[in-house]
Structure formats: structure tokens, C-alpha cells
Amino acid sequence: MSAALEQLREIAKEEADRSADTASKSQDMHPHDGGSANTRAEERASRSSEARHFQEHTEERGPTSEAPTRTTERPTSETISTVGPETPFAAKTIDLESGPIRASGPGGPPKGTDGNGRGGGGGNGGGFHKRLGPVDFSGNLREGLAAIRHNLMIVMVFTCATNLLVLAIPIYLFQISDRVLTSRSLDTLWMLTVVIVGAVVLNAVFDAVRRFILMRTAVQCAAKLGAPILSAAARASLHSNGKEYQTLGDLQQMRAFLTSGTLLSMLDVPFAPLFIFGIFLVHPHLGSIVIITAIGLLVIAMINQKLTEKPFATANLHLGRANVHLDSMSRNSQIINALAMIPEAVQIWGRDTAASLTAQVRAQDRNIVAAAFSKAFRLLTQVAMLGWGAYLAIQGEITGGMVIAASIIAGRALQPIEGAIEGWNQFSLSRSAFARISALLKASPLNFERLVLPNPQGRLDVERLLYVPEGTKRVVLNALSFSLKAGDSLAIIGDSGAGKTTLGKMLVGSILPTSGAVRLDLMDLRNWDQRQFGLNIGYLPQDVQLFPGTIKDNIARMRPEADDGDIYEAARLADVHEMIASLPQGYETIVAADGSPLSGGQKQRIALARAFFGNPRLIVLDEPNSNLDTAGDAALARAIEHAKSKGITVVTITQKPTILGSVDKIMVLSQGSIALFGQRREVLKSLAERSKGNRLGGQPG
């Protein structure tokens, strides 16, 4: 056991002596206090017999390494909790009394409920939270798709018009060479010219209109799906390393595709057969030349796709790594500068960037060669069309005007085919991007609307909690079971790596157990409406991060509609008002992403106020005093007292013994299992006895 625990045992011993003293004094002082004195004596007797039983039980079982098993048994005051594998302490639940509680008192909703189903900030344990409106990401996706489809249909009408109008030029050329030049009629020339100019202008306008519509469609799509994607990604990242956030990049990819030339080419492709059919009507030989060219272009594109697929994938992989590294550099810029790590950091980024660029160059080289081939192939087609057309004209099978018109129409038929083929890669990337967006939005647990429950009172039940991180075989938390009544305060202590932080995260639902359950007011955290749950809890993580913004914003959890009174109340509850008042800009002090200009301890205390904001019913504080001085420690103790007086359930994870004086219960966690759990005095006494026993036995603690 660590020095910290040794220190704890000393405190425990002192506390045990003190309490024994007080008990005997109180007995002396109330010799005739019949009923209550007897009851207290009985209680003590029962506790000491329980302690003996605990000792015997421990000796019988000794340390075990049994695998965690699931049970439906609920912990009661008599329940003895599971013993963890090879724990230095035998496990014993000294006090797990906690009966079911009612969500609201008999006389209607408790204080703090406005009776209208609102409450937002938590209220005084009753009432219903304010809904933000139903979340329906699948609906958002459907709406986004419907908007795209609707706009694409309008664009298709304009595409149809532009494809017909594009025939104006070949028809003009055909008419000039075969009619105007032979008849030498200026009137016909004027009339034709006026009609064609009108057609060309109209064509340009229609083309612009369809581009306008596509551009707005892309914006509409991003506006409709951006927020749902970010919300769903934030939720999904709970189970991963945050890769879901990249789905926002997928939306960018989709947006780029919607405004790209590739989409326009694809919309034009259905008209290509019509043009080719027209050329066949002019002469089957010319039509065949166009068909052969289209097939040739397709073959070149397929070969290109095959040759560039791998290097493009490699380039993206390395680019992703370089970006991750860049992100980490920007977050750790201070340490990079302080430890003179800039050359190494740049070198790591440079290695991935160079690998990405090398692969890109390889892919682009092949792309350029393929593009040159298709361009040459298309130009040679024009030559073939004109040459073979001239031959056919000499043979008298077609006119000169027909040759020129067929050549222009061939160009128009091949252009979208070539564009679509060239952009196929972009199309397939966008299709995969859309599939990822769709999967993320449809599978998001935020879609499932939960029953709106009364705001919790703060009862916490942890049942057979097992946590084995994904991809590992390490049992971090092993069959933990305990209960806290609303308003209880618990300190979790234990060696470094015992699993305290992991348990804290599980109590606030930021990681989910492999099996077992954490229940707030009897409801499994997984079944709480997430917003309602978040509004009713407070959490101070070990690694405190503040958001860029004012202190006021940070305490109010960045809620723009937060009430000034609630912010002050949170600061007062966390005992930080005085500290904030001493800052030159007070609550309006702007905090940067790295927390400056606040010190580590000040940051921690602002985060404490954030945890208290909105009158939560459960607060989990992970090492809240790791950066605090004596004054900060005292303020924290007062904050816990405030919370107790407000009936807030507080769980404090700590390595420092100073906080123990302010809590009702203590849990000693060892190697992922509960070694001791119970009323503060009992646990401290037990620790003291153990320490004494170990000293007498000459064993190390």
C-alpha cells in the first residue's frame, strides 16, 4: 500500500480513538437516557459483531481471484460485496442501506418544480426537464435527401433544356454550309443568326441557373445535416477515439461533389445516347466511331482507377496521420516549446506529410498519363470523324455541313462521358461519405426518444460493474456493487491505477460498463434521456479543460440562456465567488483554450463551479484538490458541505486525505475491486485496525 494509504490509516487510528472517547463520554453524560442510549449501545454492539463477522468471513475466504459473475441480486444492508482478485483488503460492505425512494413527495411535485414540466437546470430534485425538441436524425437525413432529390429534378429540367439548346451551333453550321452558302440568301442568314444567338444566350442562362441551384442545394444539405452529424459524432465518440468527428469531413466531400463538374457531367450523360443516335442518323460509320471512342475512354478510365486507387489510399492515410499529429502539436504547443521539441515534432509531421505527398505524386503521375491518353483519343476521334466524314462526302453519301455538325455533336456526346469517367473516383468517394453519414445518423442512440422522467433525487446504485476496455483483456473494474442514498457524500480512495477515475467516468456515463449497471434513481444511465441526465449531474474530470470563452460562459456550461443568478449560485456553492471577484475582469475574464490567464488551481475551481451549475443532484469530482493550496482545500471542503446541505449526492475521488473529514462514506478501491466500503468512521477504523494488525504481525501495509 502506498504512503498515502499509510497516512490514511494514521488518520483512521486517530479518528477511531477520538470516536471511542466521544462514545464513552456520551454514555457517561447520559446515564439515564434509557431508550436512545440503549439503541446506540445496541447499534455499536451490532456493528462490532458485524465487524467480527467481517473479520471471520475475510479469514475464511482470503484473497480470491474468482472471475466476475453476473447476479440479479440487489445490494442490501446485509449484503456482503464480492471480493476482488488478490486485493490487499478483504472486501466488506459495511453499510449499503438504501431503500427505494419516491420521485416526488406525497403532496405533489417537490420544491423547484414549476409544475409546467419545465425545469432545465435540475430543480430541487423534482419536476421535468425542458426538452430541446425531439431529435430525429433519420428524419434530418430524409429531409436532406428529399431536398437534394427535389432540387436535382429541377436541375434536370434545365439540363434537358441546355442539352437541346446546345444543338443550336451544329444546326447553325449545317444550315450555313448547306443552305445559306448555296442559296446565298442574306435574309435566311439573319433569321438563323437571331434564332441561334437567342438559343446560345438561353443556354448560358439555363446552365448558370442549374449551377446556382446545385450550389444552394449543397449549402442546404450542409445546413440541414451539419448539426445532426456533429451531435451524433459527439455521442458516438463515447465508444471510440473520436474518429466519428471525421464524418463532418464526409459532409464536406458530399458538398464538393454537389457543386462539382462531375455531377453536371453525370446529369448530361443520359443525353449522350440521343446525340449518338443523331450521329447514327447522319451516317452509321460516324456513329460507330463515337461508340468505339466512348468504349476506349471507359477502358482508359478503368485502368487509371486501378492504377491510382492504392497510391491515393496511401496518400490519404498518411495525410490523416499528419493531421492527427498537427492537432496534437497545437494542443501541446507549450510543452513543445518548453522542452525544445519543435524539431522532433516537425520531423514526425514531415515524415507523414512526405509519405502522403510521395504517394500523391505517384497517383497524380498516373492520372496525368491517363488524362493525356483520353485527350489524345478524343482529339483523334475528331480527326477520324472529319476525315472519314470528308471521305463519305466525296462519295456523295453525306454533305459537308453534315460532317461538321456530326463532329460537333460527337464532341458534345463524348464530353459528359469523359467527365463522368474522370470524376468517377470523386463520385465513389462521395457515395462512401454519404454511406458513413447515413450510418452515423441512423444508428445514433440520440434518435431514440426516452421517457421524460421526473428530475432525479440523487440515489445511486452500482450493480456488478465490470469494465474490460475494448481490445484488451485487462479487467479494470471487477464486479463493483454499492449504493448511495440521495444526499450521501462518498470519497473513493486507493492506489494509483486502482480504477478510481474509470469508476468516476462510469458514474457520469462518459464510459459504459462491459457488464453491470449504474443507476441514478433506479434508472440505468443508458436509459436516461441524455440531455436530462446531463442537466442533473456535475462532473469535474481529473484533466480539467475549459472552453475558450468567459468564466461566466464556462460556469454556465456554455449555455447562452443561462441565468446570471444560477451562475452566481454555482460559484457560491463551489466557494469560488471570492476567487473570481479578485480577477480584474471578474466573471467576464476571457479564458483561452489552454486555460490562461488562470492558474491550474483557479482552473480547477472554475471547473468545480461548472460541476455545481444548474443545481445537479449528483456530482462526481475526480481529484478536485490535486492543484489546490490550503485555502483551496478549505474552499473545497466547504463546497462539499454546501452540497450536503442541499441534498446533493457527491462522489469525490481523491489521493489526499484532507477531504475525508467532509464525507459520510469512504470506499477503498484496490486493483479494480472494492476493498472497503462503508461509513467514514467504520472504514477509517477498519483501516486503523488493519494497520495496527500489520504492524504487530511485522508485515508491510
The contact set with ligand ATP (CB under 6 A) reads 469, 472, 474, 476, 494, 496-502, 542, 655
- 288 or 542: whose CB is closer to ligand ATP? 542
- 5 or 441: whose CB is closer to ligand ATP? 5
Find the shortest distance in angstroms from Cβ 494 to ligand ATP: 6
- 419 or 672: whose CB is closer to ligand ATP? 672
Find the shortest distance in angstroms from Cβ 670 to ligand ATP: 10
- Collapsing DSSP states into helix, strand and coil, what is residue 20? helix
Helix ranges (H only) for 260-283 are 261-268, 272-282
- Which residues 6+ apart lie within 8 Å of 161 measured at CB? 202, 203, 206
Find the shortest distance in angstroms from Cβ 626 to ligand ATP: 9
**Closest Cα partner for 39 from 51, 25, 53, 27?**
27
Find the shortest distance in angstroms from Cβ 554 to ligand ATP: 23
- 5 or 571: whose CB is closer to ligand ATP? 5
- 169 or 687: whose CB is closer to ligand ATP? 687
Q: Which residues on adjacent β-strands are paired with residue 467? A: 477
Find the shortest distance in angstroms from Cβ 578 to ligand ATP: 29
Q: Where are the beta strands (DSSP E) in 609-680?
A: 618-622, 649-653, 665-670, 673-679
Helix ranges (H only) for 447-507 are 500-507
Q: d(Cα 677, Cα 490) in Å, to the nearest integer?
A: 9
Find the shortest distance in angstroms from Cβ 661 to ligand ATP: 20
Find cell 482507377 and name the residue: 305
Instruction: Give the sign of the dihedral formed by CA 274, CA 279, CA 282, CA 287.
Output: negative
- 460 or 477: whose CB is closer to ligand ATP? 477
**Cell triple for residue 493?**
480512495
| Dihedral (Cα; 361, 366, 370, 372), 10-degree rounding | 50
**Closest Cα partner for 539 from 487, 608, 640?**
608
Q: Is the peptide bond before 560 cis (omega within 30 degrees of 0)?
A: no
Find the shortest distance in angstroms from Cβ 152 to ligand ATP: 45
**Cell triple for residue 229?**
452529424
Find the shortest distance in angstroms from Cβ 633 to ligand ATP: 18
- 122 or 513: whose CB is closer to ligand ATP? 513
**Cell triple for residue 208?**
448558370
- 469 or 586: whose CB is closer to ligand ATP? 469
Find cell 457527491 and name the residue: 650
**Cell triple for residue 393?**
462526302
Find the shortest distance in angstroms from Cβ 496 to ligand ATP: 3
How many helices (DSSP H) and strands (DSSP E) are in the chain?
Answer: 22, 12
- 9 or 617: whose CB is closer to ligand ATP? 9
